[in-house]
Amino acid sequence: MEEKLKLIVRAKRGDAIAFQQLIHLEKEKLYKMAYVYMRNEDEALEVFQETVYLAFKSITKLKNDRYFSTWIIRILINTSISTLRKKKRFVLINEEMWDNMPGKEMVETDVQIDLMNALNEMDEKYKTVLLLRYYQDYTIQQIAVILGCPEGTVKTNIRRGITVLKEKMKGVYKDDRQNSIIQGRV
C-alpha cells in the first residue's frame, strides 16, 4: 500500500509512468467492471480507455490518495452509464459475464440464468450496488465513496435490491429454495 501511495503522489505531480503503473495494478478490476456494464469486449475496452484518459486528466483532483481505487471505479461506472445512455441501450448480463463473476460455482446453471434475468430487469441503482457488493466484494463504505452517496443510502439500496430480486425470483421458485438461492448468491 505504501508503494501505491508513492505512485499516486508521483502521478499527481504529472509522472505518466507512475500513473501507468497505477493503472497496471487496477486494470483487471476495471476491465471486469466495464465488461459487466458493456457486455462486449470492444466496448468494455473503449470504456476502460476513456476511464484511464479521464483519470489521468483529473488525477490532481483526487482528494484522498488512499481512495484512488474507489475514485477510478467511480469514473468507470459514470463513463459506462454515460456511454450506454448515448447508445440508448440496456445492459444485459449474459452467460459469459456470469462465468467471469466470482462465486459462480455456488449456484446451479438454471439458477444462474434466472438470476441473470432478474438482474437484467432491475433498476440501475440496485443492480450497481449489488454488483459492487457481491461480485466485486467492495465494502459498504467503498461503495458509498464510489457512488458519491451516504453509506445509509448504499445499505438501503442493497436491501431494496435484494427485496426486488426476491420478488422477481418469487414466480420462478415457489418453495423455500428462492430465499436460500438469493441469500446464498447475494
DSSP sequence for the chain: -HHHHHHHHHHHTT-HHHHHHHHHHHHHHHHHHHHHHH-SHHHHHHHHHHHHHHHHHHGGG-S-GGGHHHHHHHHHHHHHHHHHHHHT------HHHHHHSTTGGGS-HHHHHHHHHHHHHS-HHHHHHHIIIIIS---HHHHHHHHTS-HHHHHHHHHHHHHHHHHHHHTT--STHHHHHHHHH-
> Sorting pLDDT into bands at 50, 70 and 90, what band is 31?
very high
2-87: CATH number:
1.10.1740.10
Could you tell me the pTM of the whole model?
0.64
Share of the chain above pLDDT 70, in %: 77
pLDDT (tens digit per residue) in 127-185: 889 888 887 788 999 899 888 899 999 999 999 999 988 888 876 655 555 454 455 44
Mean pLDDT of all residues in 102-119? 62
Pick the CATH number of 95-185 from 3.50.50.60, 1.10.10.10, 1.50.10.10, 2.30.29.30: 1.10.10.10
